[in-house]
Chains A and B, each alone.
Chain A
Amino acid sequence: MQSDIFTYIDPSPFSLMENGPLTGKSVVIQPNMSVRDWPTEAGSAALERYIALEDATVVERLRQAGANIKGSSRMSEMGFGLGGDTGAQALADGIADIVLITDTLGEARVAASTIGAIGFKPSHGIVSRFGLIGLVPSMECYGVLANSLADISDVMRVIAGNDDHDLSMLEGKVPDFDKNYPIEESKGSLAVIQECFDLLSPEDSQDFDKTLKRLNQAGLNIEKFRLADFDLFSKVHKVIGSVEASSAGGKYDGVRYGHRTSSASNWNEMFLKSRGESFGLLVKTYMFQGAYFQFENYKAFENACRIRARLLKEIEGIFNKVDALILPTRRSNIPVDTTLGISKVYDAFLMTLLANVTGSPAISLPGLISRMKNDPGLQIIGPHLGDARLLFIASQLKNIAKRDI
């Protein structure tokens, strides 16, 4: 049922570009990615009846490359978590070849892993956020879901790259997706963080261990690192993310668009009631937590920023020794589409938050963790701006998986 998947279907989704790199490809996006004249409610009553004024840079580039943007899927409120998301389903059902899902906590990778597809989160700062109705600017980005690495590379080649509309982008530092990475140039080694195992169920832990052995047999060095601070990724994300969400959500006043309360006697009351009625409990709690750090405990926010800088250094240190870091994309015993509170949501993304905190590129691959059902996905994380190389490593690992079969 297409109508269960879409919030909006474009009546004529066909691009006029005949020989573009994405000609003929069907794309489904989320309603927090602006397409001019489309309803763009970002899964929230706070944007009720909001119609986008301009195309997001990514949307414009996809269309110019020949992609047919069919419509927008259902999404969690403001893209926080996966509650109610239907983007992955569009790919699984064959409605789309490519699906875009914002990756704030790891949503794109985790959603891909639930349907046995590939999910890619690019480096922070290489894809323009212009037109993206975000929640956590310093951590979120467009995530790409597809069934083949070739499709992922093709999309990245199209959407990555400088945009004058987004000054927060890293100028002139776009990875070269056409570059070849000769095998001699790689270190041939992957890192595993020991502390991850403590967070996995015995089954997941066993399966992951088996995967590591197979990779090792295939000639790759697996190096184990200790990172006592691993649990801090989640804490840092929670503090900084909620503060940014509180700020980003400040513009929703229910006056210019979005739900407005039916009765209020003055502006303050209207503002409070409109917002109170608009946001779901999860996002409301998240913003409230952010406001707490802003108004009542700024020190904790400053600490989180400092710890984030330290974590970045530690991860950089690991990347100096290995090609990439691997860990499962999710924990197969934890529901991923929960909306039962911030902690539960963060629990669902415990394995993916690292890349959002550090801005690293990360990809989730199916079929590498041997299991018939509920494959949690193998996540590979590369150094910041090492997107192209990461995709190359991913293709090599896929080959190993194929050989095994």
Chain B
Amino acid sequence: MTNIPAIAITGLRRSYGSQVVLNGIDLQVPEGIIFSLLGPNGAGKTTMVQILSTLIRADAGEVRVCGHDVLRDPDRVRAAIGVTGQFSAVDSFLTGEENLRLMADLHRLGRAEGRRRTADLLERFGLGEAAGKPAVMYSGGMRRRLDLAMGLIGNPRVVFLDEPTTGLDPRSRRDMWQIVRDLAARGVTILLTTQHLEEADQLADRIALLDRGGLVAEGTPAELKRLVPGGHVELRFADGRALTTAAAILDVAPEPADESLVLRVPGDGGVRSLKVLLDRLDAAAVQVDGLTVQTPDLDDVFFAVTGQAASAAAPAIASASGKVTAR
């Protein structure tokens, strides 16, 4: 390990025509961590990955990968990275094995070594049985895994994954998460983009929130969650009378003009405080119809830093928020 950050970005700007897509990004990613770039559709995630992987140029700013400048030394950067873009980058006419061998040949690995790493990756990514089938016949999940394997054959130090789990079913998503964790355990630095807060929370050591071309927050998942006030408990009642009584007992005002018969009570939702809360209502014979614990999650962070619900910007994010519901 060196002290040189895996990724160092200063003052990065990029526009498409008159549309500013990246508006002055500063970012450092230390070696050996999983870093997640989180943002809704159109935030500029793919553009950033394309600049980092030497596919497109920045308009301004300095971008270094493993200490190499992407403009002055693109081939050094390319030799250090593995890329799995948002859109599949496999050769559909070739089989899975041939795709990997092609990559091995382009890394000039030599026959024996190429064959060895191909077999190893096919095995690790569960593609052994499909190795001889043309990639056109692969399912979305298999294609994604092949895509990732192809980016790894040169043993890259930094791996870019642009929305690696978009379009995968929950099981394949979990498999992909495990693959990413295994990769990180081997010391590879990973920059992963996602629209899913849960995914960033699950995988990343550090997260940056990208919104309309700017970084609006950066830190560990825990640090980001500390940016927002604590969570709350939502109590649902059968009728207005119960709601009013409960509001009086707990000393919280029901939301004005709210017809949903729901009361939001601040609290962290821990078992002990929940019990206290319910006991107080029980003592006053107030029937609670249902209860939802709302822990502070990255959705709240997004709201806190952008003043806009992430869910309004990207529906996918709303479904990933961490709600625990009890009845």
User: Do they bind each other?
Assistant: no
Interfacial residues, chain B to chain A (CB-CB below 8 A) = none
Interfacial residues, chain A to chain B (CB-CB below 8 A) = none
